[in-house]
Chains A and B, each alone.
Chain A
Amino acid sequence: MSKRFQVLFIALGLAFIGFFIVWYKVSLLGIPFLPHEKRSVYTVGAEISFEGQKKSVLVSMALPEPQEGIQILSEDVASSGFGYAEAETQNGKRAEWSKRYVVGPQMLYYSLEVLIEPGEYTSKRSITPIEQEIETLSDLPDILQTTAKNLLDDVRSRSADIHSFTAQLILDFSAKEPSQAVKIMLKEGGMSKLEMIYRLLRYRKIPVRQIHGLYLESERRNIALTPMLDVYDGKDWQLYDLNKGKVIRHKNFFVWQQGSDSLIDVTGAKKSNISFSLNERQVPVQYLLDKKELLNKAAILDFSLFTLPISEQNAYRHILLVPFGALVVVVLLRILVGLRTSGTFMPVLIALAFMETTLFAGLIMFILIVGMGLVIRSYLSSLNMLLVARISAVMIVVIMIMSFMSILSFKLGIKEVLTVTFFPMIILAWTIERMSILWEEEGANEVFIQGGGSLIVAIFAYFAMSDPFISHIAFNFPELLLVVLALIILLGRYSGYRLSELIRFKSMVE
Chain B
Amino acid sequence: MFANPFTLKKLGILGMNKRNIHYIGSHNDRKYYPLVDNKLKTKIIAQNAGIAVPKLLKTIEYQSQLRGLKEILEGLEAFVIKPSQGSGGKGILVIVRREGDTFLKANGQRLELRDIQRDISNILSGLYSLGGKPDVAMIEKLVEFDPIFDRYSYEGVPDIRVIIYRGYPAMAMLRCSTRESDGKANLHQGAVGVGLDIATGKALFSVQHGVPVTQHPDTGYDFSELEIPHWKKILTLAASCYEVTHLGYLGVDIVLDKHLGPLILELNARPGLAIQIANKTGALKRYDVIDTQEEHLDVSSRVAFSMGHFGAKKETQKGSLNHG
Contact = CB atoms under 8 A, between A and B. Distances in A.
Contact of B15 (A386, A387, A498): A498
A386 B125 contact: yes
A496 B2 contact: no
A205 B2 CA distance: 85
B121 interface: yes
Given A384-B118, A387-B125, A495-B21, A501 B15 contact: yes
Contacts of B321: none
A325 to B, nearest CB: 21
B5 interface: yes
A340 to B, nearest CB: 10
Contact of A497 (B17, B122, B210): B17
Contacts of B189: 442
A437 interface: yes
Contact of A437 (B8, B16, B127, B211): B127
B22 interface: yes
A160 interface: no
A338 B16 contact: yes
A495 B8 CA distance: 13
A249 B8 CA distance: 66
B320 interface: no
B253 to A, nearest CB: 19
A388 B121 contact: no
A501 B127 contact: no
Interface residues on A, range: 20 to 34
Contacts of A507: 207, 210-212, 277
Contacts of A134: none
A337 to B, nearest CB: 11
Contacts of B15: 495-498, 501
Interface string A483-510: 0000000000111111101111111110
A495 B212 contact: no
Nearest to A494: B17
Contacts of A386: 63, 121, 125
Interface string B256-295: 0000000000000000010011001010000000000000
B204 to A, nearest CB: 13
Interface residues of B, number: 37
Contacts of B114: 384
B16 A502 contact: no
A494 to B, nearest CB: 6
A384 B277 contact: no
A126 to B, nearest CB: 61
B302 to A, nearest CB: 26
Contacts of B121: 384, 386-387
Nearest to A389: B125
A498 B16 contact: yes
Interface string B173-199: 000000000000000010000000000
Contacts of B13: 497, 505, 508
Contacts of B132: 387
A255 interface: no
B201 interface: no
A509 B2 CA distance: 10
A388 B22 contact: no
Contacts of A76: none
Most B C-beta atoms less than 10 A away, residue of A386, A441, A442, A501: A501
Contacts of A437: 127
Contacts of A498: 15-17
Query: What does DSSP make chain A's interface, helix, strand, loop or mixed?
Result: helix
A204 to B, nearest CB: 80
Contacts of A388: 125
Given A507-B277, A508-B276, A387 B126 contact: yes
B200 to A, nearest CB: 22
Contact of B11 (A387, A494, A508): A508
B13 to A, nearest CB: 5
B87 to A, nearest CB: 13
Nearest to A335: B17
B70 interface: no
Nearest to B274: A504
B122 A387 contact: yes
A1 B90 CA distance: 42
Most A C-beta atoms less than 10 A away, residue of B1, B3, B18, B121: B3
A338 B210 CA distance: 16
B90 A497 contact: no
A503 B209 CA distance: 12
Nearest to B281: A508
Contact of A384 (B17, B117, B127, B207): B117
Interface in B123-164: 125-127, 132
Contact of B22 (A495, A497, A508): A495
Interface in A418-460: 437, 441-442
Interface string B7-30: 111010101111001100000000
A439 to B, nearest CB: 13
A508 B16 contact: no
Contacts of B210: 504, 507
B4 interface: yes
A505 B3 contact: yes
A506 B280 CA distance: 11
Contacts of A338: 16
A389 to B, nearest CB: 9
Contacts of A496: 5, 15, 17-18
B125 A509 contact: no
Interface string A326-357: 00000000010010000000000000000000
B126 A509 contact: no
Interface in A461-496: 493-496
Contact of B4 (A494, A495, A503, A509): A509
A494 B118 CA distance: 43
Interface in A278-324: none
Given A386-B121, A497-B13, A509-B8, 15 more contacts: A384-B114, A386-B63, A387-B121, A387-B125, A387-B126, A494-B17, A495-B21, A496-B5, A496-B17, A498-B15, A501-B15, A501-B16, A504-B273, A505-B3, A508-B277
9 contacts: A335-B17, A338-B16, A495-B21, A498-B15, A498-B16, A499-B2, A501-B8, A508-B3, A508-B11
Interface of B: 1-5, 7-9, 11, 13, 15-18, 21-22, 63, 90, 114, 117-118, 121-122, 125-127, 132, 189, 207, 210-212, 273, 276-277, 280, 282
Interface of A: 335, 338, 384, 386-388, 437, 441-442, 493-499, 501-509
Report, nearest first, the 10 A-B pairs whose CB atoms are least far apart. A387-B125, A495-B18, A502-B2, A497-B15, A506-B3, A509-B3, A502-B3, A384-B118, A495-B21, A497-B5
